[in-house]
Amino acid sequence: MKKDMHPGTHTSSDKNPKARQRFQKSKVTIWHGMTFSAWARMLLKNRLQVSPGKIPLAIIITLCAVGNSLLCLLEDLVYGRKIAKTRITAPPIFIIGHWRTGTTLLHELLSLDTNHTYPTSFESFIPNHFLISEWCLKPLLNMLTPAQRPMDNMQFDMDLPQEDEFALCNSGARSIYTGIAFPNRLLDYMDNIDLDTFTPNDVRYWERTFVHFLKKITLKRPKRIVLKSPTHTFHIKTLLKLFPEARFIHIVRNPYKLFSSTVKMYSSLVQEFNLQTPDLSDVHEYTYRMFTRMHKKFEETRALIPPSQFHELHYEELVKDPAREMHTLYTRLGLKNFESDLLPALNEYIAEKSDYKPNSYQMPADLKAEITHRWGDVIKKYGYTE
């Protein structure tokens, strides 16, 4: 596989792992990449309910937010016209499906293709000025962030693929991820995921912000963009309006295993990035409701996607035989050059990840019974039994 810093190679940019370990305890959060307007809006909507112990952190984020807004203005002066003239000519690929279904794995596999690009973690967390700041800020953030994600054992690095939902959140669009900062209103944030519940102004801002972000990615790397955000499972109608020829890949996983993994993910993210002392008593109910709501929305809108632009696969089959599943995916979606442009890098990736061990969970019988009761229709639809 070609080794360079171009997205698609997945090589780590961390050249000093010992220094990284030394500085990892510094508290860098998702919110450090927000503009001042986005940060102020999030605080005001949550009635400034920052826990006393988090006030010093909130002050630092406020200072960073001012800097982000100034750098955003500078980037607009330098690149504004070029961004406005940029055209997204290759229809994006959207990976959709619930959290913990293997969306990250699929994102990384598709990004191995040198014909594709994707938002990196740096670009998604620092969306408002990465064109002018990456050269100096990315090495620093790589030193200040852990080498693995908090919810699992997967590698984390500022050059790896990342959810574009973080870019929307840090740019001030309504986002369900603000519930990570204020977890004691977790259930109240569920409407922040469905554009059909937004005001017309909120929808226009979301669309404008999203397209602007993709134009910046395209300006930097003019290739087909692969995007992964579970939240896009709710956005099919809008995404097709913006990109009529977009491809959609829906991935599903055993719901019994997904439940425990999702609860762990929410709990880990909240513990890591909260701005108030978290009460996680609603996390199970939140998981139940979100899964049901997501699948309901998906079933309502999946028929809008032309059959030639849609593919569905199971996580278990992808893990069992990645090459076979990716070949099927490429054939189904009309993506070219699987043998030459993906397969060699895919085989190397598989070899490198052969020792990866996913988290395992022991499920009490009463919890399994509740999952069966609440999610039974979806479990049956996708052929899962336990």
pLDDT tens digit sequence for 334-346: 999 999 999 999 9
Share of the chain above pLDDT 70, in %: 88
164: its two tokens: 């574009």
**266: pLDDT strictly greater than 80:** yes
How far is 298 from 290, CA to CA, in rounded Å? 12
20 pLDDT band, cuts 50/70/90, is very low
Give the pLDDT score at 54: 94
Mean pLDDT for the stretch of residues 122-142: 92
Contact 88, 243 (CB under 8 A): yes
In tens, the pLDDT along 167-211 reads 999 999 999 999 899 988 888 888 889 999 999 999 999 999 999
Q: Is 302's pLDDT higher than 80?
A: yes
Q: Is 90 helix (H, G, I), strand (E, B) or coil?
A: coil
Residue pLDDT, tens place only, 78-97: 999 999 999 999 999 999 99
For the chain, helix (H) and strand (E) counts, in that order, are 16, 5
Q: Residue 150's pLDDT is what?
A: 59
Mean pLDDT of all residues in 353-366: 72
pLDDT beyond 60 at 23: no
Question: Tell me, what's the pLDDT at 152?
Answer: 57
Is pLDDT above 70 for 76?
A: yes
Mean pLDDT of 275-294: 91
The fold of the 17-381 domain, in CATH, is Rossmann fold (3.40.50)
Report residue 134 as tokens: 């990456």
Predicted confidence band of residue 315 (pLDDT cuts 50, 70, 90): very high
Q: What is the pLDDT of residue 44?
A: 94
Contacts of 333 (CB under 8 A, 6+ apart): 93, 247, 249, 308, 309, 311
**Whole-number pLDDT of residue 37:** 96
- How does residue 21 score in pLDDT terms, banded at 50, 70 and 90? very low
**How high is the pLDDT of residue 3?**
34
pLDDT band at 353 (very low <50, low <70, confident <90, very high): confident
CA proximity to 161, closest of 8, 311, 344: 8
pLDDT band at 351; cut points 50, 70, 90: confident
Residue 279 makes CB contacts below 8 A (sequence gap 6+) with 183, 184
DSSP conformational letter for 92: P
End-to-end CA distance of the chain: 38
> Mapping DSSP to helix (H, G, I), strand (E, B) and coil, where does residue 96 land?
strand
pLDDT band at 323 (very low <50, low <70, confident <90, very high): very high
169/310 Cα distance (integer angstroms):
27
pTM confidence score: 0.90
What are the domain boundaries of the chain? 17-381
Distance CA 217, CA 90 (A): 12
CA 194 from centroid of its chain's CA atoms: 16
Q: Is residue 216 pLDDT above 60, yes or no? A: yes
**Has residue 357 got a pLDDT over 80?**
no
pLDDT for residue 25: 44
Grade residue 40 by pLDDT with cuts at 50, 70 and 90.
very high
Higher pLDDT among residues 16 and 87, named by residue: 87
State the burial class of residue 252 (Cβ atoms within 10 Å of its Cβ: 0-12, 13-18, 19+). Answer: buried
Q: In degrees, to the nearest 5, what angle opens at C-alpha 333 toward C-alphas 330 and 336?
A: 50
Asked if residues 110 and 116 have their Cβ atoms less than 8 Å apart, the reply is: yes
Distance from C-alpha of 252 to C-alpha of 151, rounded to nearest angstrom: 19
Mean pLDDT of 102-114: 95
CA 47 to chain centre: 27
E strand map for the chain: 93-96, 116-117, 224-228, 247-252, 310-314
Check whether 366 has a pLDDT greater than 60: yes
- Output the pLDDT for position 69: 97
Q: Where are the extended beta strands (E) located within 77-200?
A: 93-96, 116-117
The most confident of the ranges 16-20, 28-32, 97-101, 266-270 is 97-101
Instruction: Please tell me the distance from the alpha carbon of residue 113 to that of residue 271, in angstroms, as a whole number.
Output: 35
pLDDT tens track for 136-175:
998 888 777 766 665 555 667 888 999 999 999 999 999 9
Q: What is the DSSP letter of 164?
A: T
User: What Rg value do the Cα atoms of the chain yield, rounded?
Assistant: 20
Q: 278: pLDDT confidence band, cut at 50, 70 and 90?
A: confident
Cα–Cα nearest to 41, from 182, 249, 161: 182
